[in-house]
Structures are given as C-alpha cells and as structure tokens.
Amino acid sequence: MSYDESHFPAPRRRIPRSTLVLSIGALVPAAFAGWLIWQSTGGSDDGGAAQAASSSAAAERPGSPGPEPRPSVSRSSPTSPSASPSTSAPGDDGAPGDARPAPGEGPLAGKVVVIDPGHNPGNFKHTAEINKLVDIGTNRKECDTTGTAGNAGYTEAEFTADVSQRLRTLLRKEGATVKLTHENDRPWGPCVDERAEIGNKAGADAVISIHADGSGAGNRGFHVILPALVKSGGADTTKIVTPSRDLGERVAGNFVRATGSAPSNYVGGGTGLDVRDDLGGLNLSTVPKVFIECGNMRDSKDIALLTSADWRQKAARGMADGISGFLRR
C-alpha cells in the first residue's frame, strides 16, 4: 500500500450470460466469477455477502512488507507525479477541463464524495513529520508513510494523484460534489487522522482512499479494504460497517468489469475484499469509506498496468461506477 493506512453488484444493465462467462471466466476465481455473472443477469441489487478474512493489526497482509504503515521506500529522489496537481484548492472548485452538469443536475446531484489519494510525494523529504504518532482510536500510529514504488521508481503517490483526478472528473460529470483530501498542494501529509476528519466534516456520502500495494513479485490483483467493527477509544465504526461493505462490494465488482483485473491472489481468498481493524483512516471515519489497492507495484505484470494511462482511466471508471451504484441504490 500503500500506507496504512489503505454486493459485488454489477451495474443494473443486463449482459448476456454467455458474454460474461467468456470475458471474465479466465480472469477471476470460479466462485467470484459465478457470483458476478449471477448479479449481472438479475441478481439482488443489495449484493452478496462475500466474507473477507480480517488481517491482524500486526501484519498488513499476507506477503506484504509489513504492517501499516508500510516501511518507507528508500529513495533519495522520488519521481514527481506525471499528472500535475490542480491549481485549485482541495474541494469542488473545479479543475481545468472538468466537464460538469449545471448545479443541481445529474444523477448524483446533492451527493458528496471525498477522494483520498494515498500518500504525498513530499513525504520523502519530511520523514520526521510523517513519523509523528497520531491517535487512530485503537492505538497510535505514524502520521503517514511515503508509500511504495515500482522497481523503476514510479511511486504510489504519483499513481494515486493521477487516478484520483480522473475519478473526480468522472464523478463530477454525474453531478456529484467531489472533494480531495489533498492535491499534492502541501509539503507532506495529511496525517491519517486528518484524512478521516476531512471526510467526516464534509458529511460525505462515500469516501474512497486510493492506493497501490508493495507486495512480493507474483502477488497480483486488486483488493478493497473494508472497515471492521471497532469500538475503542475515539473509534466507533458501528454505523459504517454495513454501508461500507455495500460500497466496497460495488466498487470491487465494477473494478473487475472496467479493468479486466482479477481480485488479489494473495489477500481476501479470491473475493477481492479484506476486512481490517488497524487502519486509522477507516477506524476514525463516521461516513461510509473503503480503501482500494489497485495492484501490486512490485510485480512486473501489475506495474505494467499501473503505469498505463489507458488502464488508469479504466480503473477510475470502475471506481466511479461502483460509487455511483452505491449512491443511487
């Protein structure tokens, strides 16, 4: 991840059963494919009840470098984001080129979505600041981390900034009010507790935190992280566990359809879902929120996707369709 802190209902349109079987049968585990096909051919709009195994707070995930936050990638000169940050302040002020319907129009009019681009390119130069401990409800953890990077130097922060801006544009076209937790417009951070607070203060109808993983070579695919039931200290996820699962399952299902990527082969047992209780961004959220790890930056096949602008657009589309389905349910 990524840092930290990081039902499959398909869209309601009907797709011939034979077409789906041919297109996704080779991409996803049999159980997941069968589920997705059932949804696409008239299954319940409430989605399934896929169960992901909870990761312990001591281990970020099987095969990953370590617990959240992930240890910093050792780099002296990180690559700067290929997608230049917007000159507008975080929020819904509008970025150049964003096409949006008139105020109050569009299927998502009146809905607020907060997008949280994982990490910040400046974190590499501010290790003292990001190593400061903050309260995540259950315990204290580092403010943030640098995130991971591909073997050739393409950073997670670079990836998340690009996909977040693509996702913002798509959601605005549907009439949503979209806010970003940051746009690389600050020297470092924000800390994980502040990221959660931004979504809470916005009264967001949905929040998604975008990441890419840094696991071992051969570990492939995406997974969506859902909040566990946590009630400790300042953390209480009681009210968001159920809607967050709905949001996460919709994002995962649409991510498969849009990108052709399979669910993770090393987290979630083929469901593409992982439940965690050790991420401050989820523990401290009072609104529906999920994380998505879009792929593994340390695998040669996954990094080829993550560095493709065409694939990143598909990834943004999958997320947008999942969020839209959740908000229009």
> Can you list the positions of beta strands (E) in 43-157?
54-55, 112-117, 133-135, 140-142
Q: Which two tokens stand for residue 312?
A: 């990143």
Task: State the DSSP H helix or E strand holding residue 40, giving kind and residue range, or none if neither.
Answer: helix 30-40
Backbone angles phi, psi at 321, to 5 degrees: -65, -40
C-alpha–C-alpha distance, residues 203 and 249, integer Å: 21
| Residue tagged active-site, from 60, 174, 249, 293 | 293
C-alpha–C-alpha distance, residues 180 and 169, integer Å: 12
**DSSP designation for 167:** H
Q: Which two tokens stand for residue 197?
A: 């607070």
Which residues, 6+ apart, have CB-to-CB distance to 296 below 8 Å?
212, 213, 214, 215, 219, 220, 221, 302, 303
293 has catalytic annotation: yes
C-alpha–C-alpha distance, residues 29 and 285, integer Å: 31
The alpha helices in 174-297, defined as continuous H runs, are 192-201, 241-259, 280-283
> Can you list the positions of beta strands (E) in the chain?
54-55, 112-117, 133-135, 140-142, 177-180, 206-213, 223-227, 231-232, 235-236, 273-276, 289-296
C-alpha–C-alpha distance, residues 294 and 92, integer Å: 25
**DSSP designation for 8:** -
Backbone angles phi, psi at 56, to 5 degrees: -75, 160
Q: Which two tokens stand for residue 77?
A: 């000169």
Task: Name residue, tokens 């649409």.
Answer: 254
Q: What residue type is assigned to position 127 of the chain?
A: T
Catalytic residues: 293
